[in-house]
Amino acid sequence: MENPTAKNEPWDVVDEASYESFPASDPPGWGSYHATTPPEATPEAVVVPAPVVFVVADLDSPRCDEALRHADVEARVRGGKLVVCHLRSARSFAFELAGRIAHVANTTQRDPSTFEVETAIGRARTIVARAEAHGAELIVVRAPDRKRFASHLVQRVVRYAKCSVLVVRPTYGMNILVATDLADDTTPTLSAATRETELLDAPVTTLHCVKTDERATSAVEAMHRLARLAQQHRLGAEVSVIAGAPANTIVNAAYAIGADLVIMATHGRTRLWRMLQPSVAEQVVRRAPGSVLIVRSEALAKSR
């Protein structure tokens, strides 16, 4: 039998196993598979969802327009999506959607295609569940007024939310107060303070509360540490360490400096603890003169 791979034979050689043709000048071995190198797979681009700002508002009340405007600014700064949740009572009928969409568009100067409007019965757990379903990283809600129901609603949203909460009040002053507990991770709180400082272009005061029976050296050490942390986060802040109960100290300091915004973290507590005693964050939300941003870290949210 003649060898088909001979140089004098110009035809192509067919590999009997794979039925592929090869140039006669470079044939594979007979009866063997011809291994071809598959093209490299192009890695798929990881799609990171845009952050969601979830604002809770009674769109029938003009007092909620301030919360809408704050939520709009936060969504724009974060490059995120705005979701508006209109509150209604259990007895009321579903609201007229077109009119509410037009109201949000006029208040925020947004195109209707850039936000969502939905309705929910005014219960804290329903609001928190809706925000969690949207993957919200911030809930914006108007501060409670003298109505007991509204006050309890906001406090419960602060208590049960797994993301940060901004409680909005009308402008009180032109200062920012950052209250931090140096025993915990201060990075989320100070990072939020940096973002809000750049947004508002307002002077900042950082505050740490110590117990009245702590030694003076502890207060000095806390002041030095707080100053270093503020410098690391590019906060040109005045540093203050005050002895006293945390909630009273924070509220009094906010009134003293005319704080338009108080930024603070919230602690992870057990459900029983939250039922027996309101957190410092809830007390500050109820009594502060201006808006309050409650920062909740991702690790704390996952542990709840």
Same fold flag, 49-168 and 170-304: yes
The CATH classification number of 170-304 equals 3.40.50.620
| Tens of pLDDT, residues 63-98 | 889 999 999 999 998 889 999 998 876 555 555 778
pLDDT at 303 over 60: no
**Tokens representing 297?**
């870290």
Of the candidates 263, 286, 299, 279, the residue with the CA atom closest to the CA atom of residue 159? 279
Q: Find the distance separating the first CA and the last CA of the chain, reported in whole Å.
A: 80
Contacts (Cβ under 8 Å, ≥6 apart) of 42 = none
Domain locations along the chain: 49-168, 170-304
The answer to whether residues 258 and 288 touch, using CB atoms and an 8 Å cutoff, is no
pLDDT tens digits along 119-159? 888 788 899 999 999 999 999 999 876 555 557 888 889 88
For tokens 């037009």, the residue is: 102
pTM comes to 0.76
Q: How confident is the model at residue 292 (pLDDT cuts 50, 70, 90)?
A: very high
- Give the DSSP letter of residue 36: -
Backbone angles phi, psi at 156, to 5 degrees: -75, -35
pLDDT at position 252 is 94
Task: Give the strand pairing for 136-142 and 259-265.
Answer: unpaired
Three-state SS across 131-162?
HHHCCEEEEEEECCCCCHHHHHHHHHHHHHCC
Tell the CATH superfamily of the 49-168 domain.
Answer: HUPs (3.40.50.620)
Q: What is the pLDDT of residue 253?
A: 93
